[in-house]
Amino acid sequence: MFRHKAILQACLFILIGGFLFDAESYAQSRELANPPQKRFEISFGGGWGLYSMKNINRHYIDDFAKEFDIFNDHIDNGPNLFGEIGYFVSPKVSVSFGINYLWGGMDHKSYQVRTDEQGNVLDSSLAYTKTSLTTTLVAPELKIRYYFPIKKMDLFVSGGTTWCFGKSALKAKFNLPEGFVLEEYRFAAQGVGFMASTGVSYNLNKTISFDTEIGYRVFGTDDLKDKNDKIWIVDATGRPYKMNLDFSGPFVLGRLSIRL
């Protein structure tokens, strides 16, 4: 984590340094397509990313859930939606505030024939259990971008920091001859995150641009707790592990921006 923070600090230093040394210059594409008075920018978009989710994948699913046929897969990727409001402090440097929404989940269905103690089938109906595990993260983000103009296209690098609000829901629905039985467990946690990326912005006209970017983020939370402030702990191997959310990994995004 310390190394990741050092990388982020270096990125921010480069961006701020570039702004100080180039505050009086104007990006060619920004100067032509976006007059100086258009300093505000509204953006929205989405993408896909890989997730680490180390504790849940390894210590809950692999060590426990697979053994009892509760889950068979991992939560290792998912979609990302976001919106941003930005301000160009100079034609090459923008500061934006945004909201990220990340999701990851899976479900599983297992069947069991009802039998007596001797193994004889009691009836022909199948009892089944449907389980689902969902993880979500809402992350307000402060981001700085630095642009390198190339005619109608701008290359850029960016770095940002976030506050992560994570939630997880574990549900099990039992379909028995006696009726349906539903069990549900909900957990929540918060944490600090950051990201760095690089990409290209293509100016469609004087107001609208389309961006694509690829980067790496470290979005995670502290230990997950239920409404009674009890930590979600898995002790399947004789050693207890505390569960948390870890959406860290590489990502790719597409963004539509409107300059005001």
* Tens-digit pLDDT profile for residues 16-38: 444 444 444 444 344 444 444 57
Lowest mean pLDDT among 84-88, 111-115, 121-125: 121-125
pLDDT value at 8 more than 60? no
Mean pLDDT within 39-64: 95
Domain boundaries, the chain: 2-259
Query: Predicted confidence band at 193 (pLDDT cuts at 50, 70, 90)?
Result: very high
Which value, in Å, is the radius of gyration of the alpha carbons in the chain? 24
CA 58 to CA 61: how far, in whole Å? 6
CA 63 to CA 65: how far, in whole Å? 7
CA 197 to CA 15: how far, in whole Å? 12
User: What is the fold, at CATH topology level, of the domain defined by 2-259?
Assistant: Porin (2.40.160)
Mean pLDDT within 82-94: 94
pLDDT value at 85 more than 90? yes
Mean pLDDT within 156-164: 96
Kindly give, in sequence order, each residue whose CB lies less than 8 Å from that of residue 194, ignoring residues fewer than 6 positions away.
4, 5, 8, 159, 160, 161, 162, 217, 218
* Tens-digit pLDDT profile for residues 202-260: 988 888 999 999 999 999 999 999 999 999 999 988 899 999 999 999 999 999 999 88
Query: Predicted confidence band at 117 (pLDDT cuts at 50, 70, 90)?
Result: low
What is the predicted pLDDT for the residue at 177? Answer: 67
What is the predicted pLDDT for the residue at 175? Answer: 79
CA 110 to CA 40: how far, in whole Å? 53
Query: Predicted confidence band at 151 (pLDDT cuts at 50, 70, 90)?
Result: confident
Mean pLDDT within 120-149: 85
pLDDT value at 120 more than 70? no
User: Which alpha helices (DSSP H) does the chain contain, by range?
Assistant: 2-22, 28-33, 54
Distances in whole angstroms, Cα of residue 110 to Cα of each of 9, 14, 161: 48, 53, 41
Mean pLDDT for the chain overall: 84
